[in-house]
Amino acid sequence: MSMLSPAAACQRARPKILIVDDLPGKLKLIARILGDGYDTLFATSGVDALALAAEQVPDLILLDVLMPDIDGYRICAAQRCTTFAVDDRHPTSPIPSGSVPDYP
């Protein structure tokens, strides 16, 4: 059994998260909440999100549902994020983050 040296363990890739929201303030807030344990990617449009996801292949995509160009559900569908199962007993579905409309 081989063990990773401390130097090799430090070089392991951190999980990559793509955060998608058309409001830059929300992107910063979510990144701050996540902390430094992840490599974070940001997109402010659905088109940019699809391009980044294809190029960078993130481990997780956090999506805003309400965006002007492509909504989170369509991005999810384009990424083939339909219902999947961890195993036969635990079916799961990806859940785009919800947006709350601004009310006066």
pLDDT digits (tens, 9 = 90+) for 48-88: 998 898 888 888 888 888 888 888 788 887 776 533 434 44
Q: Which residue has the tokens 């549902």?
A: 65
- Any domain includes 21: yes
pLDDT at position 93: 45
Alpha carbon distances (Å) from 38 to 19, 31, 58, 86: 11, 9, 11, 23
Domain count, the chain: 1
Residue 48, in any domain of the structure: yes
Decide if 4 is inside a domain.
no
| Number of neighbouring beta carbons within 10 Å of residue 46 | 21
Would residue 77 count as lying in a domain? yes
Whether the CB-CB separation of 96 and 64 falls below 8 Å is answered with yes
Domain carrying residue 40:
15-92
The model's pTM: 0.66
Reduced to 3 states (helix: H, G, I; strand: E, B; else coil), residue 29 is helix
